[in-house]
Chains A and B, each alone.
Chain A
Amino acid sequence: MKIKVELFGVCRELSDKDHIDLELDENSKIKDVRDQMIEIVKTKFPENNNYLEMVKKSAFSSKDEIVEDAYKLQNNDAVSIIPPIGGG
């Protein structure tokens, strides 16, 4: 199934676009998105431990709500990666 991951904060550095498209197995969950994002960072930025830590520490949201790793995804869902925040 296809999942679009919208990028924010430091995670914008992971792509030239504002999102990353993932191809995941059927019945995948947010945990699978995180695992695949970790693999992308390891491949594209093998020397950058900061990016790796950021993806590990990030939350994910779906339909503007923070969701846990067990959250089940549907084909063509869009989710957002929410790295540690610091506005104001």
Chain B
Amino acid sequence: MFHCDVVDIKNISLDKAQKFIESHKCGASLFFIGTVRDHNNEKEVTGITYDSHDAMVKKSFEEIYNEAIKKLDLQHPVAFVEHAKGYVPLGGISIIIAVACKHRKQVYDFSRFIIEEIKKRTPIWKKEHYKGEDAEWLDGQKVEVKK
């Protein structure tokens, strides 16, 4: 069972994630929450604007979920992935990955696989805002073109 979306910060919610992954078949659940921290590259960060190619992001999340099921030995996998879009202030939630499986090892593997793959291939970009109203787009990972 899987849910994913790209949402405004005011709609990103742990309650929604928790309700989605609740299952009596699963003995383990795990929540990964990414938040905006106050520093990067020796600069004082006040917030991050996230830009996203929404259709490709959702497609990428689904591909990652399906790959995880194939590669990891998961029983009764459930996953909820939402990423914020737009301006997220200091301390705000940028991403929630909530997973549930039959056993605890599976949820650690599942959650880690999802976030690491998102970092490698999901078309989301960050513009960091610094104290003093300066802002800059962060360098990212070049997207591989399959031939």
Contact = CB atoms under 8 A, between A and B. Distances in A.
Given A64-B59, A87-B83, A88-B115, A8 B125 contact: yes
Contacts of B139: 84, 86
A87 B126 CA distance: 6
Contacts of A84: 139-143
A86 to B, nearest CB: 3
A23 interface: no
B147 A85 contact: no
A77 interface: no
A13 B137 CA distance: 10
Interface residues of A, number: 22
A9 interface: yes
Given A84-B142, A85-B124, 9 more contacts: A61-B123, A85-B123, A85-B125, A86-B126, A86-B140, A87-B119, A87-B124, A88-B115, A88-B118
